[in-house]
Chains A and B, each alone.
Chain A
Amino acid sequence: MDIDQLRELADLAIEKNLAEIEIEQHGVTVRIRRPEAHVVAAPMAVGPAAHVVAAAGDASAEPVSAYADAHMITSPMVGTFYTAAEPGADPFVQVGDQVTAGQTLCIVEAMKLMNEIAADIDGEVIAVLQENGQPVEYGQELFAVRPS
């Protein structure tokens, strides 16, 4: 694996907002991890050929150490994650905001229905883990909240 291939892999990881990308080729394994994407993968490399594995989130994964004390808000459904009520509007919450239980944090849209996802505890939002417009799956981590 040469430097150009590595660079391509890194670009791919950034472009697709992947938390982790692992490639195995001819007995050599390269793993590129982006801590800022805050999603830990369950790598599923299969087969002898080069196989690129993209992580899209894993509800049972270990939390990244910076959020060890945080309460994770996860998606209760499959859909598309939106940070605001509509395009162009201010996001519901930002990092640093204090939130109360029941407060709307985001919308997950499924089949044209907008579902408001609420905080289930009081606390401070310390991380927003998905990007606006990104597909999310059941159990995917959306926010890290430090309980107050």
Chain B
Amino acid sequence: MIESVLVANRGEIALRVIWACRDLGIRPVAVYSEADRDSLHVSFADEAVCIGPGPVGESYLNMASVIAAAEAMKVDAIHPGYGLLSENAHFAEVCEACGLIFIGPSPEHIRRMGDKAEAKKLMVGCGLPMLPGSPGPISDLGEAEAIAREIGYPVLLKAAAGGGGRGMRVVIRPDEILKAYQTASREAEAAFGSGEMYMEKYLARPRHVEVQLMGDRHGNLIHLGERECSVQRKYQKILEETPTVALTDAQREAIWGDAVKGASELAYYSAGTMEFLVDGDGNHYFMEMNTRIQVEHPITEEITLVDLVKEQILVAGGAPLSYEQEDVSFRGHAIECRINAEDPETLAPAPGQITAFNVPKGPGVRVDTAAHEEYFVSPFYDSMIAKVIVHGRDRDEALARMRRSLDLMVIEGIRTNIPLLRKVLDHPGFVAGDYDTHIMDEILPNIGMRG
């Protein structure tokens, strides 16, 4: 029986865990850096311990401090939130070694799925579809041509040693492959010291669809539907919605089925999310698994009425799942927008002092935030300051509620991405449900991404 939880995080997710603790009658204990001394998560916890100065490495990521605080406050369990220590297998091990319950999966789950290449191998072994590609590095042009013929054009050549768009070339037609292979390889050699190349099927209009999973320690595992997270800027999600309009109902059932199959093979427990890429025909391909609660979890909560954080805590305490698969139903449509403190032109984080703050309210509106009227957005932490979540009986109602909510979300003193998010909600492709991960390139043509 968990009676107290140390929240090893800050900001809105720390508050989120505190809400769940209070609902369960569990004593929440906060930890904070000196920069977060006046934070809401500190005010609303039953007790709070200062664990270090502002910089994250000296405070929230300082495992010794977090564990020492847990021991001093005699808590039963630690909830790591998302980011920070949540996918640190070593931290999960240390918690167990110190007799503290880590609210999440096992260290082994974290380790295996944290290694992206290993995770892909494991999931393919379970029969999950993966993006076709070269099994290993390509030895020469001849092999490149053969593999491309087999998986079908267009293909993507990627540097084995690098990323960020360098050493990457899209090859649309067979007669382009020679030049593409040579140039990409030379570029990779210059940038990363290795000209070794991999090949993957290129999806022209990929969509990002993920499945929420929840398991207990008695072998039960269910899914709670999917979320579409294709609105991304530099691989950072800024808007998510559920259900996805990219898939038919049959395709949704198929992606749920694969996610449950893969996670069950791992004997997974606690919250987790399996991420897939979806192509123009609605086929899904396994990308990776996140072994933690995610930022966008509220939209799943809105359409299922399941409190995911509460369920994590219950499951960690040894309880069986509160729901069977047939108990899970989906109602309506939900959308989340992430409000970031950032410069609208350069898109760089923009810390500063908030001078006015009004959150939208009303039917179907939920705002998860630790910001307030006198909040100082610190340069030490990431720039997300609030999540605006709306729920409606259908997608049109949800869109209208989100437009209204963003218009009524007044934040003064700092710059935010609210105007950018507002543009997404008027983008014809987005409104029609016909968009993919390149949508931000269309909305921000001057600040594109390479590769």
Contact = CB atoms under 8 A, between A and B. Distances in A.
Interface of A: 42, 44, 46, 54, 56, 59-60, 77-80, 110-111, 113, 135-140
B65 A78 contact: yes
B73 interface: yes
B350 interface: no
B78 to A, nearest CB: 13
B43 A44 contact: yes
A108 to B, nearest CB: 9
The main secondary structure of chain B at its interface with chain A is: helix
Contact of B72 (A44, A46, A113, A135): A135
Given A56-B47, A77-B68, A138-B34, 16 more contacts: A42-B37, A77-B52, A78-B49, A78-B50, A78-B51, A78-B52, A78-B72, A79-B68, A79-B72, A80-B68, A110-B65, A110-B67, A111-B94, A137-B51, A138-B51, A138-B52
Interface residues of B, number: 22
Nearest to B73: A135
Contacts of B73: 135
B434 interface: no
In this complex, the member of A42, A54, A59, A111 whose beta carbon has the largest number of chain B beta carbons within 10 angstroms is A111
Given A137-B50, A138-B51, A111 B43 contact: no
Contact of B44 (A46, A78, A111): A46
A134 B49 CA distance: 13
Interface string B29-50: 0000010010000111001011
Contact of A111 (B34, B47, B98): B98
Contacts of A111: 64, 67-68, 71, 94, 98
Contacts of B321: none
A110 B64 contact: yes
Contacts of A42: 37
B69 interface: yes
A54 B67 CA distance: 22
A85 B37 CA distance: 32
Contacts of B59: 138
A140 B50 CA distance: 9
A55 to B, nearest CB: 11
Nearest to B66: A78
A27 B305 CA distance: 38
A137 B34 contact: no
Nearest to B58: A138
Nearest to B38: A42
Please list the 7 inter-chain residue pairs (A to B) with the smallest Cβ-Cβ separation, ordered nearest first. Answer: A135-B72, A110-B68, A78-B68, A137-B50, A137-B49, A78-B65, A138-B50
